[in-house]
Amino acid sequence: MNMYSTKFKMLPSTGVLLSRLSIIGLCMLLVSFPEHAIAGTIRHDVSDSSYTVLATAYDSVGKLNIGAGMASGVLIHENWVLTAAIPLSSAPLGTTVEFIIGGLSYSMDSLFTPVYGDGFDLALLKLATPATGVNPALLYTGAGELGSLGTAVGYGFTGTGLTGATNHTTVKRAGTNMIDEIDGSGIMWADFDRPSFPGESSLGSATPTSLEYLFANGDIGGGLFIEEGGKTYLAGIHSVIDYHDGFNDSDYGDKMGSTKVSLYVEDFINPFIDDPSSSSVPEPTTMLLLGTGLLGLAGARRRFKR
Q: Which residues bind Ca ion (CB under 5 A)?
A: 177, 191, 193, 243, 245, 247, 249, 251, 254
Strand ordering across the sheet containing 80-83:
104-107, 97-101, 61-66, 69-77, 80-83, 123-126
In angstroms, what is the minimal distance from the CB of 238 to Ca ion?
15
Smallest gap from residue 200 Cβ to Ca ion (A): 10
Q: Which is nearer to Ca ion, 79 or 250 (CB)?
A: 250
173 neighbors 55 (Cβ within 8 angstroms): yes
Q: Which is nearer to Ca ion, 121 or 251 (CB)?
A: 251
Nearest Cα to Cα of residue 123 among 142, 154, 97 = 97
Give the residue with the Cβ less far from Ca ion, 241 or 290.
Answer: 241
CB of 165 to Ca ion, least distance (A): 9
The least distance separating Ca ion from the CB of residue 214, rounded to whole angstroms, comes to: 8
3-state secondary structure of 107: strand
| Closest CB 154 distance from Ca ion, rounded Å | 17
Give the torsion sign (CA, 295, 300, 303, 304). Answer: negative
Q: What is the Cα–Cα distance from 237 to 79, expressed in whole angstroms?
A: 18
State which residue, 199 or 229, has the beta carbon closest to Ca ion.
199
| Nearer Cβ to Ca ion (73/208) | 208
CA distance 79 to 108: 10
